Amino acid sequence: MEHTVSVRGVDVQANGASLRRRDGMILNRISQGIFVVLGLFVLYVLGRALLQNPSVFIQQVMNGLQLGFIYALIALGYTMIYGIVKLINFAHGDVFMVGAFTSFYTIGTLELHRWLTWVAPGMPEGLATVVGTFTVILASMVISAALAVVVERFAYRPLRNKPRIAALITAVGVSFFLEYFGALPFAYTNNYITYPRPFEVAVYSAGKVSPVLMAAMWTIFVVALVIYGIFFVRGKRGDARAKLILRHPLLSFGLQFGGFLAVVLTLAGIRIETGGKVWDLSASNVTLVIMSASILLQVVLQYIVNNTRLGKAMRAAAYDKPAARLMGINVDGVITATFALGGGLAGAGGVLYATAYKQVHHLMGIIPGLKAFVAAVVGGIGSIPGAFVGSLIMGQTEVLAAGFISTPMRDAIAFSLLIIVLLVWPQGIFGEPPAEKV
Amino acid sequence: MRIRTAVVAMVVLALVALSGCGGAGSKAVKIAILAPLSGDVATFGQSTRDGAMLAIEEWNAKGGVDGATIEVVVEDSQCNAEAAVSAANKVIDQDGVKFIIGEVCSSASIPVSEIATSKGVLQISPTSTNPSVTVAEDGTTKSTIFRACFIDPFQGLVGAKFAIETLGAQTAAVFLDQGNDYVRGLAEVFIKEFEAAGGQVVVTESYTGDDQDFSAILTKVKDANPDVLYLPDYYNTVNLIAGQAQEKGITAVLMGGDGWDSADLDVSVVEGGYFTNHFSADDTRAIVQDFVSKYEAKYGARPDALAALAYDAATILLQSMDQANSVDPIKVAETMASGTFPVVSGEITYDASHNPVKSAVMLQVSGGQVIYTDTVAP
């Protein structure tokens, strides 16, 4: 005798072994079909744009890189904090804003970017600017880190053992507080304020790229690549030390920094004219500074997380807080350090963002913060390489959508990416499936 | 009985008092100034009041209009619809005003214009640019409502003309914010007029008000290499776009509208750019310099565009009353609609929709300063 029991949309056929889910199946298929068609259409539009005018297409990719590297600095903070306290820190975008404003004051009022010329007036202008810019970024990182720690101590720690939704709502509250406190007349006011860049903008295009700089970048990249190759082969043969060296931060910095900058500089440096089409790309020093700073900070973060005692404690706390506490790890201290690191990165992101767009505003953190959050989710929240890759994807999606599909639709397209990625990889690209804890 | 006698006596006394009031004002005409004197845009309202008062005092010194001296009623209409409506009702019903100068903001001028139309009162707004101030919903012109400023799209026309004729531009790129009527109005007219004058608009890109990154659309501009990049947005967005254009190495001349007119305009990134405006205190015409020196002598400050437009609004109104030899709003409105008024912001005539046809000033950002370059007639 055959009978069917329907339990919450799942048809359980008593005599058959098969369990089939019927409800919503057709709708799911339709929605997948729509996404596939849309995806193919987007690929067609982009492919056509690439063939029609490759130089504009590649310039857009370079624009996307700049945006992606800034998102990366914010997304790293989101992902680290989520990884350890399982909290989506909505105030993170506002820490980013505070970082931008800090640098606005250190540059505009204190002129900290010129400190080397006060100490040693004979300094070459270029060196003083580089050192000054790094000082400004560092100062913003310190202030933002301090702010993140204060927020954690006063807003999140008291709710640590309460239901997670309480901390989430508190995060939204802190975010609003920072935004609208900033709007007060004695804080930042609610005006759009022009930001003084710590250095003059310079555009590098064909003939203006220093061959020395380009050669230096290629050298760094090739040397790093050769070293990587050597130790990779030795590691394959069973040399344990070689495998460790492969993960050395200097090596990964050399590969990424040298690689990205060499390619960008070379692309900007060549000029080809074919049949009326001119291949003439450009990159500004702002783009180069953003890429270098972002790669450097990301490598430093990777080093801290993978190779230091603090990093080990962070990973342990992320895995299992009570057990980590039993092992003698100061979990509260680790969480504070995580917030400080995340805040510092967001602060650096704020300086770079303000340098690129030359304007600060008390609500400037909302949209970049949201997009970086999406980037972190796309990459797999909790994963550091995931946040980095997700941000680069996010930057590309946005710029290519704006450039070749529709500018007003850019955000809609960028956020649709979130849906598509989550449909395919529910944990994000680098995310790990939830581990079974015993 | 004694109570009734007392009431009758009081009523009689009141009637005598009221008729006395009416009789004493026969040789005076009342004009109301409605302006926001408190709130966010209080400085707009103060400039407007000061500019209008200056013109009215000049006419009073000359003996007034139609043999009557001008009395002024100033009301704070707060740039919002409710306050403006109650201020308008108060001046019309209580003070017996038949002529209104104001409001500053379109959102307040539109409801005032409804009241003024229904009560046969003449209204001239110095600065409200929304088309609905003078045109009713069914498309007919409100017979007694005027303005002293040009409406937004007019700047697009002047910008296109200047780009072609003075800058010799042949190609242009236009950026517009789809969600902002002001920006869209300027951009659409610019595109139409630029192409009508033989130019070619090579890039038209729209964005949304939240956008901060314009690298994608600027890359297209770089590729198309136009002579002019028209950015008819407010200064904050212009700062963002122009800063990134500089970073992309774009050399097109930047142009815009009166949204650029702000102390917060980032002059370092829009260096060499041009924008249209209503008025410049540096305009060399004698009437402008005369106004500027009188304003400075009275208030100790340089007049801004709001003061100039309010001065013009009052001048147009008083000149029309003088020419009509009447203080009847309907007659004055007829004279105003057909007259020609040489005022500070240009020589004004009115089109069928009661919008002024006049010249705009073209300002250039040069050496970190905003300087007057030209007066462009449409």
B159 and B223 housed in the same domain: yes
The answer on pLDDT for B16 being more than 70 is no
- What pLDDT score was predicted for residue A22? 62
- Residue B365 falls within a domain, yes or no? no
The 10s digit of each residue's pLDDT in B219-228 is: 889 888 899 9
Band of residue B9 on the pLDDT scale cut at 50, 70, 90: low
The last residue of one of the domains, among B257, B277, B297, is B277
- Residue B314 falls within a domain, yes or no? yes
Dihedral sign, Cα of residue A93, residue A94, residue A97, residue A103? negative
ipTM surpassing 0.85: no
- What pLDDT score was predicted for residue B23? 40
Are A192 and B235 within 8 A, CB to CB?
yes
A136 inside 8 A of chain B by CB: no
Are A357 and B266 within 8 A, CB to CB?
no
B131 and B93 housed in the same domain: yes
The 10s digit of each residue's pLDDT in B236-258 is: 889 889 988 988 888 899 999 88
* Residue A242, both tokens: 């070689």
The 10s digit of each residue's pLDDT in B101-125 is: 988 888 889 999 999 999 999 999 9
Most confident of A125-134, A337-346, B233-242: A337-346
Are B248 and A205 within 8 A, CB to CB?
no
The 10s digit of each residue's pLDDT in A152-198 is: 999 999 998 888 889 899 999 999 999 989 888 788 877 788 888 88
B217 and B120 housed in the same domain: no
A190 inside 8 A of chain B by CB: no
Residue of B nearest to A401 (CA): B216
Q: Which residues of B touch A402 (CB under 8 A)?
A: 213, 216-217
- What pLDDT score was predicted for residue B22? 42
- What pLDDT score was predicted for residue A7? 45
Q: Give how far B42 is from chain A: nearest CA, Å.
A: 17
Closest CA to A348 of A419, A311, A421, A296: A296
Could you give the CA distance from residue A343 to residue A149 in angstroms, rounded to a whole number?
A: 8
Are A205 and B249 within 8 A, CB to CB?
yes
Are A408 and B244 within 8 A, CB to CB?
no
Are B216 and A403 within 8 A, CB to CB?
yes
Pairing relationship of beta strands B69-76 and A193-194 according to DSSP bridges? unpaired
B199 and B268 housed in the same domain: yes
- Residue B375 falls within a domain, yes or no? no
B123 and B207 housed in the same domain: no
**Residues A178/A97, Cβ–Cβ less than 8 Å:** yes
The last residue of one of the domains, among B225, B258, B277, is B277
- Scanning A366-395 for CB atoms below 8 A from B yields 367-368
- Per-position DSSP letters for A258-307, written without gaps between them: IHHHHHHHHHHH-EEEETTEEEE-EEEHHHHHHHHHHHHHHHHHHHHHHH
How many domains is chain B built from? 2
- Residue B229 falls within a domain, yes or no? yes
- Residue B369 falls within a domain, yes or no? no
Looking up residue B335, the CATH number of its domain turns out to be 3.40.50.2300
B353 and B312 housed in the same domain: yes
Across the A:B interface, residue pairs with CB atoms under 8 Å apart total 92
B288 and B143 housed in the same domain: yes
B260 and B290 housed in the same domain: no
- Residue B228 falls within a domain, yes or no? yes
A56 inside 8 A of chain B by CB: yes
User: What domains can you pick out in chain A, each with its CATH number?
Assistant: 53-202+277-288+310-424 (1.10.3470)
- Residue B1 falls within a domain, yes or no? no
Are A407 and B206 within 8 A, CB to CB?
yes
3-class secondary-structure state, position A424: helix
B82 and B112 housed in the same domain: yes
**Residues B362/B276, Cβ–Cβ less than 8 Å:** yes
- Residue B376 falls within a domain, yes or no? no
The last residue of one of the domains, among B256, B277, B298, is B277
- Range of B12's domain? 8-150+284-358
Residues facing residue A391 across a β-bridge = none
B159 and B42 housed in the same domain: no
The answer on pLDDT for A436 being more than 60 is no
The 10s digit of each residue's pLDDT in B265-290 is: 888 888 899 999 888 888 888 999 99
- What pLDDT score was predicted for residue B249? 84
